[in-house]
Amino acid sequence: MTLSHGRPYLAIPGPSVMPDRVLAAMQRPAPNIYTGALHEMTETLFPDLRRVAGTAHHAAIYISNGHGVWEAALLNLLARGDRVLALVTGHFGRTFAATARALGAEVELIESDGAGPVDPARLEDRLRSDPGHEIRAVIACHVDTASTARADMAAYRAAIDACGHPAVLVADCIASMGCDRFEMDAMGVDVAITASQKGLMTPPGLGFLFFNECAAEARKRADMVTPYWDWTPRATPDLYYQYFAGTAPTHHLYALRAALDLIVEEGLENVWQRHARLAEAIWAAVAQWGREGEMRLGVRAAGDRSHAVTSIHLGAPDADRLRAWCEAETGVTFGIGLGRTPPEGWFRIGHMGHVNAHMVLGALGVIEAGLAALAIPHASGGVTAAARTLATA
């Protein structure tokens, strides 16, 4: 006997839970891709995507995952041998940097300890020692989904501006967009990228890239970009097929339309606040459980923690034992530890997108049951602490 039968809950940091309306939107025959309703619907996506990204500038959609839009951003910005400064807070920032290196850039890393973001003062110091402006781009994860640290993109912009450096600022918002407050133009980000499968609640397979006029200027000297990855025809197409450099991802687009409708109906501010409050409930539970035993949050300061995903240390092998128990016995799947040493000592809770209070409280209740069932040392009362947070916040 297992208590897992019923609706499963995938509480990993993407792909996230897909709303029924998103799933239903894909239940349709293949549409005409040459003219008509699909074209009209596609046009409606761009204003809403821009609104979610907080930009009045250009938007491009790729048929790709996050790795694809990493390449899209870099290829449109860089010439071979260009210098890139990567601000790294975890596994994904490191892999983004490795992608730039593989494409032919000279990449330099400034790394945090993974328990918080890179200090903007370190960025400013490095840029001040680059009077020749060899560094062309500063790349950073807004939220690194592995460490779950959130960077202050506006502070990075201020650091760049403080030394009058012309490097473009590129933000990976794959984990954060539609979850953590992000306002591309107000934060001074030149290029923002994201993907469909997290805060945007759509199946994996779409990548999104937003770029401003500074980035469009940098594009002019890029010498590695191929027709498929070129953002210019995608953002300013003469013909419909140029939006996607070929056949449109028809059913993904209908799914995206439904997901954006949900965000517009709730209101982006409310979406961000919902994520913030649910995240606080999770932190409260972990803080309470951690009064005894090894459990603790991966990111030190509350202000540096993502509202979309939380990394939790429990020690090896208990983190893996707990994840396995929760999945087998209760139907809730949590994320694996990533980029930590050892990864088996960590797990992550994804709380991004279509997630509400009863789902988070349920997931926390399942963890509390697992801790007890497996006799993992912890203080009781985590779920109560979370419930109190939701009651009073």
- Nearest approach in angstroms of CB 96 to ligand PLP is 7
Q: Which is nearer to ligand PLP, 175 or 360 (CB)?
A: 175
Burial of 150 from C-beta contacts in 10 A (0-12 / 13-18 / 19+): buried
Task: Quickly list DSSP for 119-138.
Answer: -HHHHHHHHHT-TT--EEEE
**Residue sitting closest to ligand PLP (CB):** 66
- Nearest approach in angstroms of CB 93 to ligand PLP is 8
- Nearest approach in angstroms of CB 207 to ligand PLP is 8
Q: Which is nearer to ligand PLP, 145 or 333 (CB)?
A: 145
Q: Which is nearer to ligand PLP, 85 or 383 (CB)?
A: 85
What are the strands, taking DSSP E only, across the chain?
9-11, 58-63, 83-88, 106-111, 135-141, 168-172, 191-195, 206-211, 296-297, 309-313, 332-336, 346-350
- Nearest approach in angstroms of CB 192 to ligand PLP is 12
Q: Which is nearer to ligand PLP, 167 or 174 (CB)?
A: 174
| 301: β partners | none
Q: Which is nearer to ligand PLP, 172 or 190 (CB)?
A: 172
Q: Are the CB atoms for 376 and 293 separated by under 8 Å?
A: yes
| Chain residues in the site for ligand PLP (CB under 6 A) | 14, 65-67, 92, 141, 144-145, 172, 174-175, 195, 204
- Nearest approach in angstroms of CB 309 to ligand PLP is 8
Q: Quick one: DSSP state of residue 30?
A: P
- Nearest approach in angstroms of CB 68 to ligand PLP is 7
Q: How far apart are CA 237 and CA 134, in angstroms?
A: 32
Please say whether the dihedral angle defined by the alpha carbons of residues 230, 236, 238 and 244, taken in this order, is positive or negative. Answer: positive
Q: Which is nearer to ligand PLP, 195 or 332 (CB)?
A: 195
Coil, strand or helix at 304: helix
Q: Are the CB atoms for 343 and 323 separated by under 8 Å?
A: no
